Amino acid sequence: MNNHEANNRDRQIEDDPSNQEHQQPGYPPMAASAMDGVAVAALRSVLQHVHQAAERSGRSSDRIRVVAVSKTKPVSLVRQVYDAGHRSFGENYVQEIVEKAPQLPEDIEWHFIGNLQSNKVKPLLTGVPNLAMVETVDDQKVNSDPNMIYYKFLLCVSQIANNLNRMVENIGRKPLRVFVQVNTSGEESKFGVHPSGCLELVKHVSMACPNLEFCGLMTIGMPDYTSTPENFKVVFLLIYISFGSVVLSCSLLVNIFLWFLILLKFLTPSVCWYQTLASCRSEVCEALGIAEEQCELSMGMSGDFELAVELGSTNVRIGSTIFGAREYPKKQLN
């Protein structure tokens, strides 16, 4: 193709009005403008990277949703990103989303991505009529709930799913789309259903909760894996033993083995959690007889969203890369 043709083609792409309507989800990236604020520029860059990661894995990025996680950030900043054409936003404190949503346009698709307690289901659903998705349905049983014993004895699979289901019906809103949250990284996180219980919970949601629409699986994995205090201690101990054994002139093999353990500890990447989620999906799709495209994967945050997309994510939740680092108030919300 010569230069002239290439220019022409670029012009056609710019002129095509259908390109402007297509800003969600993900691609084509929104046209940059000189007036962009920092958050909008950062969003464009994220969309671009999502697109490239999707291409690397041979997928199309137009099925990949970027949820801009605006927790702790002011409404005015959310508004800027909205005005640039973005529509999916995520919050993880009920109190915060209930305050923000009414101040922002109704065509925002809000994703609730935080831990949801039973007594917050009603305020969430009534306070955010344009809630598009709850990503955090799990099998957690809340100890303080007076019905705890009742739930235990009936072996109820998910109190939160049942509450959401009932509340959707009570307030007469349209069915609520949900993800089942899976704890892919072991005991360290207390939220999410264990991978072995995932199928049972998905079956419960899709068969016993007619007002919920099962859309896929979500995981947090373990951000900052090596910087958690326990891991830091383990690594420190290994280094200490390793030097000790040099002093005691132990064999080289012992040392190589210890350093291998240290590296393993450091290098365990998000890959593990994300592959676990993908295999949960295979199990679910096979059991329910649905195509994998009908079961989304919500995985990937600021630190690792490109990797997550390469591993099959259809929904990345990005906060600090778009809105900047968060400052938490002294007293936690919610």
Ligand X SMILES: *Cc1c(COP(=O)(O)O)cnc(C)c1O
Q: Specify the amino acid at residue 198.
A: C
CA dist., res. 146 & res. 128, Å (int): 26
- Output the DSSP codes for 8-48: HHHHHHHH-HHHHHT-SSS-SPPPP-TT--HHHHHHHHHHH
Q: Which two tokens stand for residue 186?
A: 């072991």
Q: Which of 287, 313, 309 is nearest to 216 (CA)?
A: 313
Q: Using only the alpha carbons of the chain, give its radius of gyration.
A: 23
Number of residues that bind ligand X (CB under 6 A): 13
Interface with ligand X, residue 301, by CB under 6 A: yes
Q: What 3-state DSSP class applies to 193?
A: strand
Other C-beta atoms lying within 10 Å of the C-beta of residue 24: 16
Give the residue nearest to ligand X (CB).
319
For ligand X, the closer CB: 156 or 307: 307
**Measured from the CB of residue 278, what is the shortest distance to ligand X in angstroms?**
18
Torsions phi, psi for 86 (to 5 deg):
-85, 145
In the bound state with ligand X, the residue whose beta carbon lies nearer, of 134 and 205, is: 134
Lookup: tokens for 265 = 């500890």
With CB under 6 A as the contact rule, the residue among 44, 71, 100, 281 that binds ligand X is 71
CB of 70 to ligand X, least distance (A): 9
Closest CA to 160 of 130, 203, 201: 201
CB of 23 to ligand X, least distance (A): 20
**133: which strand partners?**
111, 177
In the complex, minimum distance from the CB of residue 303 to ligand X, in angstroms, rounded to a whole number: 6
| Stretch of residues binding ligand X (CB under 6 A), selected from 192-200, 206-214, 239-247, 296-304 | 296-304
Using CB under 6 A as the binding rule, whether residue 182 contacts ligand X is answered as: no
Please select the residue that binds ligand X; options are 29, 45, 320, 333, rule is CB under 6 A.
Answer: 320
Element holding 260 (H helix, E strand): helix 252-267
**Candidates 78-86, 100-108, 204-212, 295-303; binding stretch for ligand X (CB under 6 A):** 295-303
Instruction: Choose the binding region for ligand X from 28-36, 150-158, 171-179, 316-324 (rule: CB under 6 A).
Output: 316-324
Site string for ligand X, 87-126 (x = CB under 6 A): -----x--------------------x-------------
Q: Tell me if 318 contacts ligand X by CB under 6 A.
A: yes
Of 262 and 305, nearer to ligand X (C-beta) is 305
Interaction between residue 319 and ligand X (CB under 6 A): yes
Q: Toward ligand X, which CB reaches closer, 82 or 242? A: 82
Length of the chain: 334
Binding segment (CB under 6 A) for ligand X, from list 140-148, 161-169, 209-217, 297-305: 297-305
Tokens representing residue 122 in the block? 């009603």
Instruction: Work out whether 69 is an interface residue with ligand X (CB under 6 A).
Output: yes
Going by C-alpha positions, the residue among 178, 88, 89, 189 that lies closest to residue 136 is: 178
Q: Which residues bind ligand X (CB under 6 A)?
A: 69, 71, 92, 113, 220, 301-303, 317-321
